[in-house]
Structure 1
Amino acid sequence: MLKEMFEYNKQFVKDERYKEFQTDKYPSKKTAILACMDTRLTSLLPAALGLKNGDVKLIKNAGAVVSHPYGSVIHSLIISIYELGVEEVLVIGHDDCGMQNLNSEKLIKKMHEHGITDVDIARSDGATGGIEDWLVGFQNVEEAVSGSVEIIKAHPLIPKNIRIYGLIMNPETGEVRQVV
């Protein structure tokens, strides 16, 4: 796969196809989006929202979840707000998310099947409060999105004038609804 990617990239650069994507580092819509990393949303999310390269700062992770108040999502949002002029944050989850009903016990079993030892798994306990607490999903996408929105809104380093919204996308149609 990597070899194919490099071959494609060489031709992409040679043909100067990058020119249609050129922009600067500042999001023109002054918006940051925290979205799920689901492959169905890769092209669908920007297309369904009318976004083009340079419009927003796009932060992606499993479930569009803020899992730690001082983790990488909040870090990225703080940089986006203070350094890149973001004034609005959208948390966008989606229906049929793989994080729904994620079972940490089953995930740990899969780790064992891939040769990860209990010693290696135990190493993560100190940093996370227990791997079972860290490798969890959610039952309800609306509640998960609302929870992430509330963490961002309540964060002491996020200015109170930043607009923060929760949305849910249908991964088949691209339809978006707001979480109240």
Structure 2
Amino acid sequence: MTLLEEIKEANRSFLAGSPLQLAEGDRFVVLTCIDPRLTGFLEPALGLSRHRALVVRTAGNQVSDSCNDGLRSIAAAVYVKGGKEILVVGHSDCAMSRFSATDVIESFRKAGVPRSAFGDGDLRAWFAAFHDVKANVIRSVEYLRKCGMFPANFKIHGLMLDSQNGKLEVVRDGDSIKTESVVSDQLVATPSPARTPGPVSSSVQAGALAPEPPPLPAPATKGAATTAGGRPGALKIMANPASMMDAARSHKEREKSLRHNGRT
């Protein structure tokens, strides 16, 4: 039974009124929200046992380039504490999906903190607010899968928990996601598609490869025969009698010239 199957079974037992804890096994990481309604509720709803679950909590159970405060803790949970899988657990009615910049600014003022303390940018971006709780879980899962800190075959799941009744929904099943091949940033040459031989066009565009002409019968040639590619070697085309006589005559004249040069 996979970890995800164990958790789904524990959740069914919880909903039936008989909470179960997961059996002993490998440790795993849970990234969830800071919402206080989850405290003491998340654990029995998922069957989390004391010595297996490494729980990391961030506002909105988020992790991204602009909101990576939980990434260091997740990495520590995996590489220091030995977590073998990651579960991103969002929940219904998350306050970060109902974020109001006006309300937050009012909270600043009541606390005596100026708006400028949070910079000049958009407060929604600063707090990493979102609208869709499920889409937010999926974004966090995809970020963790692609950030490069975890192996390509590392299982990362996305779950949604109903804050009222504790019912669990799987929105990303890490067991069923096939690992993708890692593609190098370097350009990889791919073979050109096969071309049908034909006559060479008289107007070939600049830079384009002309199609290979069909092989033609080779005419009789003078001199030594050549192999394919023009290199001396085994006979491929036999010279005709006339060409053989010419070659012999040329050879004799060459020897005569060499002897004459040797005497001088």
User: How far is 1:85 from its partner?
Assistant: 1.5
SS at structure 2 position matched to 1:75? helix
> Which structure has the larger Rg?
2
Q: Which of 71, 77, 80 is the matching residue for 1:80?
A: 77
The separation in 1 between residues aligned to 2:60 and 2:93, in whole angstroms, is: 10
User: How far is 1:115 from its partner?
Assistant: 0.8
Change (3 A) 1:45 1:132: closer
Q: Letter of the aligned partner of 2:38 in structure 1?
A: L
User: How far is 1:46 from its partner?
Assistant: 0.7
The answer as to whether partners of 1:34 and 1:59 remain within 8 angstroms in 2 is yes
Deviations 1:155-176 (A, max 9, x none): 1122222100100001111110
The answer as to whether partners of 1:169 and 1:175 remain within 8 angstroms in 2 is yes
Give identity over the alignment, percent. Answer: 30
Deviations 1:67-120 (A, max 9, x none): 436833111111111122211000000011111121234312321222111442
Q: Which residue of 1 aligns with 2:206?
A: none
The separation in 1 between residues aligned to 2:148 and 2:75, in whole angstroms, is: 11
Q: Letter of the aligned partner of 1:148 in structure 2?
A: S
Deviations 1:120-160 (A, max 9, x none): 233xx5xxx65442124211111000010011000112222
Q: Which of 67, 86, 91 is the matching residue for 1:89?
A: 86
Change (3 A) 1:40 1:70: closer
More helix by share: 1
Q: Letter of the aligned partner of 1:156 in structure 2?
A: G
Q: Which of 27, 31, 34 is the matching residue for 2:28?
A: 31
Q: Letter of the aligned partner of 1:178 in structure 2?
A: V
* C-alpha RMSD of matched pairs (Å): 2.1
Q: Letter of the aligned partner of 2:132 in structure 1?
A: N
Change (3 A) 1:170 1:70: closer
More strand by share: 1
Q: Which residue of 2 aligns with 1:121?
A: 118
The answer as to whether partners of 1:29 and 1:56 remain within 8 angstroms in 2 is no
Q: Which residue of 1 aligns with 2:107?
A: 110
Map 1:15-164; keep pairs closer than 5 Å. Answer: 28-68=25-65, 71-122=68-119, 131-164=123-156
Q: Letter of the aligned partner of 1:29 in structure 2?
A: D
Change (3 A) 1:170 1:58: same
SS at structure 1 position matched to 2:164? coil
SS at structure 1 position matched to 2:40? helix
Q: Which of 143, 147, 169 is the matching residue for 1:177?
A: 169
Deviations 1:34-91 (A, max 9, x none): 0111111111111011122111100012111114368331111111111222110000
SS at structure 2 position matched to 1:177? strand
The answer as to whether partners of 2:58 and 2:69 remain within 8 angstroms in 1 is no
Where does the alignment leave 5 or more consecutive residues of structure 2 unmatched?
Answer: 1-23, 173-264
The separation in 2 between residues aligned to 1:30 and 1:78, in whole angstroms, is: 13
Q: Letter of the aligned partner of 2:141 in structure 1?
A: V
